[in-house]
Structure 1
Amino acid sequence: MFDRVRNVSGSRTPVRPGDPTGWSGVRGKRVLVTGGTRGLGEQIVRLLAAEGARVATCARGAGDLAALAASLDSPLFTRALDVTEPERLEEFVAAMANRFGGLDGVVACAGGSRGGRFEETDAEDWAATWEVNVGHAARLVRAAVPHLRAAGGGSVVVISSISGWKPGPPVQYGVAKSAQIQLAASLARELGPDGIRVNAVSPGSMLIPGRRWDRMRREDSEAYAGFVATELPSGAPVAPEEVARVVAFLLSDWSSGISGAHLPVDRAQNAPSPDGY
């Protein structure tokens, strides 16, 4: 009964030879990932490529894209762009679908925040934070829908954050990430008749070289130890590789029954920052 896996479009996907579980993974799938040169985005791209997917990614730095492509054993389709630039992201989606002959999945991973504490943050900071998170994700999905529909369905993964459902500063970031969770749930209902699944993944604090928690660990080890002891029951932040595996599962046919879900991947983390609730 596990010799093949039926996907949401009703077609059957051959499994890997010799795999008794029927797990076909993402082999052969055509997937676009935004923000794929650093941190979680990079780990998602590397895992998908290693698992046999045909991958495209974009980021602002052409040098970073070239270095990532050179480090992989399989071809990577790339383009240097800012996901908030009008029409640039949409053009990349069309180019990727044309290059690969279609599209099976997209991952909205690019994100970020501008501004500081609430009283220090102006309207431009709120608008920029919203656009790089919610605006970019919405435009990515809208551009991808015709291609996903033409393929008989597909999977969309929106990378939100623990900050989207557990309060902590900066507030403009938390509000945008919360909206991404709602976006995924609403689009899952609207696009479900086309066989398109949409889910949100919320990583907890991740230990990424050069980023906030890594800097705290190196520069203020006592504060970092206190944060881990108070907020992280497992004794360590979640690793980007752990989150990437969840994303790969959601892109695979084995997750065909999951849509409109919000999946925290945070090792039961409490507050998203040392500030607590």
Structure 2
Amino acid sequence: MADSTERGRRSARRSGGFAGRRVVVTGGSRGLGGEVVRLLLAEGARVAACARKAEHLDGLRRSLGAGDELFTRSLDVAEPELLERFVDSAAETFGGLDGVVACAGGARGRGITEATAEDWATTWALNAGHFARLTACATPHLRASGGGSIVVVSSISGWKPGPQAQYGASKAAQLHMVSSLARELGPYGIRVNAVSPGSMLIPGKRWDRMRLEDPVAYERFTAEFPGRELIRPEEVADVIAFLLSDQARGVTGVNLPVDRGQNAPTPQGY
């Protein structure tokens, strides 16, 4: 992760300003979501973050030394009622909302002959379903604040084929929803955009474990990147913050890849 000096440089590079902004971030305890929360708080926003595990949210709060500017709740974003109550509670706590980041997501199951109907339904609910419900329940709060920005974290798997199909299909659905919702919500001053990360090098996660445990396979995988370097979560967080900011006030309905020009989305590639 970026150290405090690097965060200071990143903050100085952007003049959008988040002082007083109120932003919801799902999947906001670790990895990319945690980095988004850290960056927004550092720039003066008040942030409501949710994640499955309360201990991860508690760890984030302790690491930040955060107070009332950080509102947290543990929940499964695939449960619509819990997600709706979280958004409403965040808006009540902060006195409204100005931005939303749909960062939570995931996948379940293997290939098409092995994946069950439940695997497909679960993957869909985590990605497309969660994004749809989050947007629906956040929209009244954004409208009441005079507009705002919604950003969904999709994936290059949404248009670059790779295993597994249920994941790629749900990410492709997010991208279509962005195009549609940008038109639907534009009259209310609400912008809707997607950020599509490539394979991110997150400490302790899949690619970092490969780098440490199977350096030969990792080196082969880096050939999918023109610069032979995976994207880092803080670099994706910078782009998300840009899309939330007033600097991107003319940007809506866009899918912005942040992938260092990655080709195949996994080592299996197609």
Whether the 8 Å CA contact 1:202–1:266 is kept in 2: the answer is yes
Does structure 2 retain, via aligned residues, the 8 Å contact 1:111–1:133? yes
Kindly state the Cα deviation for residue 72 of structure 1 after the two structures are TM-superposed: 1.5
Which has the higher mean CA deviation after the structures are superposed, 21-30 or 173-182?
21-30
Where do 1:175-186 residues align within 5 Å?
A: 175-186=169-180
Name segments (4+ residues, structure 1) moved above 4 Å. 19-22
Q: Give the match for residue 46 of structure 2.
A: 54
1:181 is matched by which residue type in structure 2? L
Question: Given the alignment of the two structures, is residue 248 of structure 1 paired with residue 211 of structure 2, yes or no?
Answer: no
Matched, 1:223 2:217: yes
Contact 1:208 1:214 in 2 (8 A): yes
Aligned length: 258
Runs of 5+ unmatched residues, structure 2: 1-10
TM-score (norm 1): 0.90
2:55 to 63, 68, 72: 63
Q: Structure 1 residue aligned with 2:87, among 93, 99, 111?
A: 93
The alignment yields a C-alpha RMSD, in angstroms, of: 1.5
Tell whether 2:225 aligns with 1:232: yes
Listed one character per residue, the Cα deviations across residues 193-240 of structure 1 (whole Å, up to 9, x for unaligned) are: 0000000110000011222111211221111101102x0111110000
What is the identity, as a one-letter code, of the residue corresponding to 1:235? Answer: R
2:265 equivalent among 252, 257, 272: 272
Q: Secondary structure at the match of 1:93?
A: helix
Aligned pairs (5 A) from 1:13-162? 23-75=15-67, 76-162=70-156
Counterpart-to-counterpart distance in 2, 1:134 and 1:67: 28
Distance 2:112 2:98 in 1: 39
* Counterpart contact for 1:152–1:195, Cα < 8 Å: yes
Distance 1:262 1:21 in 2: 23
| Unpaired stretches in structure 1, ≥5 consecutive residues | 1-18
1:207 aligned partner: 201
Check whether the contact 2:80–2:130 (CA below 8 A) recurs between aligned residues.
Answer: no
What percentage of residue pairs aligned between the two structures are identical? 65
1:26, CA displacement in angstroms? 2.0
Deviations 1:167-207 (A, max 9, x none): 10011100001111111111000000000000011000001
Q: Identify, as 1 or 2, the structure richer in helix.
A: 2
Alignment partner of 1:197: what SS?
strand
Instruction: Tell me which amino acid in the other structure corresponds to 1:45.
Output: V
Bigger radius of gyration, 1 or 2?
Answer: 1
**What does residue 4 of structure 2 align with?**
none
Hey, what's the Cα distance between the residues in 2 that align with 1:20 and 1:210?
29
Contact 2:19 2:44 (8 Å CA) reproduced = yes
